[in-house]
Amino acid sequence: MNVSVDSKSSRVVNISWIADFDGSSVIQNYTVKISRDNEQFVDALCQGSLSDSSCVVVSTSASLGNLSPWTLYYFKVFARNKIGISDESSVVNATTDEEGAVCKQCSCFNVYVTFVSSLNYSGADILMMR
């Protein structure tokens, strides 16, 4: 199975995959594992899971939440059918976004503000982001 990262934020990573050969037995579900070091993988938690303690889904996608901001994670997927559990998928990684990072592309503008008081004049540069 080839796994890919579809989208991410500071606390959620959405992944999807394309199912491989099913061994002539219908795939019943998929389990997603997570790691922070790409060596020790543990059960992930995801939305819509069939299990409270791991990410078990029937679709070919998962939304993995409750992650830490600005952290590198690795993911892999296993398929299950009547015959058993598949070999692991390829590993995909994603770094969650920084907390509060909303500006993907910021533009800077110089705005000149003029104040006139009596005979005095002053100008100031203001940096604005949009």
So what's the pLDDT on residue 23? Answer: 86
So what's the pLDDT on residue 104? Answer: 55
Whether 128 maps to a domain, the answer reads no
Question: Could you tell me the CATH number of the domain that includes residue 59?
Answer: 2.60.40.10
So what's the pLDDT on residue 41? Answer: 98
Whether 89 maps to a domain, the answer reads yes
pTM of the full structure: 0.76
Count how many domains the chain has. Answer: 1
In angstroms, the CA 53 to CA 81 distance is: 20
Whether 102 maps to a domain, the answer reads no
The parent domain of residue 52 ranges over 2-95
So what's the pLDDT on residue 105? Answer: 57
Whether 27 maps to a domain, the answer reads yes
For each successive 10 residues of the chain (130 residues), what is the average pLDDT?
96 96 92 98 96 97 97 98 95 95 53 47 48
